[in-house]
Homo-oligomer: A and B are copies of this chain.
């Protein structure tokens, strides 16, 4: 463990390398905040995290300790090895400027986590259209199984809660501190993360 705690300021995003075997811990330092996570193979950036493959193999919407996040080529990218919350979302794609126009028309638009991920990943040649559905850490989207209806509720995470992943391949990670009012209960907060060998 290198002991460094990195901070992602509110409504922003970053990217970094995570080597095979390294452990990424995504921490909600104040509670009630969402972090959108993307993973992309360093060996070939066409291989990236896939909600459709992951859900297909997991057979559950609520991914937690013991589940794996798969790529579009059906390879495991990340194992979830610890999780103090147990509620994350893999249905909704990161908010964009269009999302703000369509869903938050009483607020100033913001580029959202989508725009923040586009900016953070451009240096690796990832185009806007290549941003897939992110794994939305701490995002709370309860589903009514009878009707299929769902809504975005404030996260269940409390200050210091975290989710921990082990990389199964050399990865580029994109990670944000959420920009959308609904998913974090209207409060914009930072996200912390650590990388351990």
Residues of A whose CB lies within 8 Å of any CB of B are 46-48, 50-53, 55-57, 59-62, 72-74, 91-96, 98-99, 102-103, 127, 129, 131-133, 142-151
Alpha-carbon distance A61/B141, docked complex (angstroms):
12
Question: Inside 8 A of A144's CB, which chain B residues have their CB?
Answer: 145
Chain B: CB-nearest residue to A46: B129
CB contact under 8 A between A102 and B74, given known A55-B92, A60-B150, A151-B59: yes
Closest residue of chain B to A134 (Cβ to Cβ) is: B52
B147 touching A52 by the CB < 8 A rule?
Answer: no
- Is there contact, CB below 8 Å, between A60 and B148? yes
Q: How far is the CB of A168 from chain B (nearest CB, A)?
A: 15
Closest 10 CB pairs of A and B: A52-B93, A62-B148, A74-B98, A145-B145, A61-B148, A52-B133, A46-B129, A56-B92, A60-B148, A143-B145
Question: Contacts of A55 on B, CB cut-off 8 Å?
Answer: 91-92
Closest B residue to A74 using CB positions: B98
Complex partner residue of A147 from B47, B60, B127, CB under 8 angstroms: B60
**A197 nearest CB across to chain B (Å):** 30
Q: Can you list 17 contacts pairing A with B, beta carbon distance less than 8 Å?
A: A46-B127, A52-B94, A56-B99, A56-B103, A57-B102, A60-B147, A60-B148, A61-B91, A61-B143, A61-B150, A62-B147, A72-B93, A72-B131, A74-B99, A74-B102, A133-B133, A145-B145
Residues of the B chain whose Cβ atoms lie less than 8 Å from the Cβ of A51: 51-52, 91, 93, 133
Give every chain B residue within 8 A of A102 (Cβ-Cβ).
Answer: 57, 74
A149 touching B52, Cβ below 8 Å: no
Residues on the B chain within 8 Å of A91, using CB: 51-52, 55, 61, 91
